[in-house]
Amino acid sequence: MCKPIRRRRLIRNGPSRRGATLVLIAVMSSALVGMGALVINWSFIELTNTQLRSATDAAAKAAAVALSQTQNKSDARAAAKQLVKNYYIGGQKLKITNADIEFGNGTQDGQGGYTFTPDVSPLNCARVTARCGEGAATSSVPVFFSNLMPEGTFDLQKEATAGRYDHDVCVVVDRSGSMAWDLSGEDFSYPAEYNNDSTLQNYFRAPHPTESRWAKLVEALESFKDVIDSRNLNAQVGLASYSSDYTFGLFESSKVTQDQVMSPDTGDFLDAAYAIGQEPIIGDTDIKAGIDNGRLILTSSSERRMTATRTMVLLSDGRKTSGGNPLTGASKAFDKRITVHTVSFGDGADQQALTDIAEATGGRHYHALTGDQLADAFKDIAEQLPAILME
């Protein structure tokens, strides 16, 4: 007789449990919808962040390349603004303004990174700031399910710096009479092939094509060129040479000559060096005149670039026997942000003077006794020139 009563209780409690379950399902469904909305919007925000990062990186690179190629900041800004038109952030076309693009100098910070300083020459970097939000050229990005979110839009900002080191290089070489000597270290000692001729004959003839100091210099310059070309440094290289004003009969020399303007074809300066060796090289050693002429090539010629790092490579096999104080020339070069690396060649070279010149300009001094050591010095200088930078 108890079973029917228990049955009636079960029937009475059934609708109450079903109602509680429906409420629970409704609450959980709402929570799942809310969580789904959060996940979708979180994914959307991450996607737009990635889109904005890609656009900013590309715009900075475009500005840096255009600045290097055109040497014009307006053209570089135009290149960056044109490129970002290809990018959509949250369904809207990205826009940047001139104020979002700045130019400056990037230098190594000694910790594997770079430091960007706005409006400091050489202008080897472009920094782009892309923004979506209040005060930006691009509006805030709308979210999905805005009725479920605390805010209906969100703001974004990304910054990228890109640049590359362009190099304006002037090689300044000694073409005084001693550069026709051999590598024995003895004054007026010429290659063995010329031993049967008088000193006067040897002095007024072209340097030996393989065994003279000049020949070893040309070989070292070939190594210098090869390294620059292999590293794709976007370099322009010029050549100047110095000795002294000297005339003897039909033979004469000038204290300094501009043998090759800076050219992106690095074979040009090498051809000019080879051509010098086809004629007698005579005269004394006016190192300051060489430095001064190298400075003018790097700063006053039409080939100079506002984006370029300026480097002078100065070679001498002797001591100052003519002209002014080389350190005065080095100081003027430093004032024009020129780094001078110096190479002394042979026992007769004034190593201390060339060391002082390098130290005064932030450069390095190298000493070479042999042709191989000379080539190694020039290769090391080329390898130390900084290349592309990116932040």
Mean pLDDT by 10 residues, the chain (391 residues): 50 56 60 57 70 90 88 93 90 91 85 83 91 84 58 78 90 97 94 89 93 98 96 93 90 92 96 97 96 95 88 97 96 96 96 98 97 98 79 57
pTM of the model: 0.76
- Nearest-angstrom CA–CA distance, 308 and 310: 6
Fold of the domain built from segment(s) 166-390: Rossmann fold (3.40.50)
- Nearest-angstrom CA–CA distance, 224 and 377: 9
CB atoms within 10 A of CB 161: 24
- Nearest-angstrom CA–CA distance, 366 and 355: 8
* Amino acid (one-letter) located at 174: D
Query: What does the pLDDT read at residue 10?
Result: 46
Token representation of residue 317: 């096999």
- Nearest-angstrom CA–CA distance, 182 and 320: 20
Query: What does the pLDDT read at residue 1?
Result: 47
Which residue, among 203, 302, 190, 192, has the nearest Cα to 243 in the 3D structure?
203
Query: What does the pLDDT read at residue 135?
Result: 84
Q: For residue 384, give Cα distances in angstroms to 64, 109, 363, 381.
A: 22, 16, 11, 5
What residue segments make up the domains of the chain, in order of their start? 16-163, 166-390
- Nearest-angstrom CA–CA distance, 53 and 139: 17
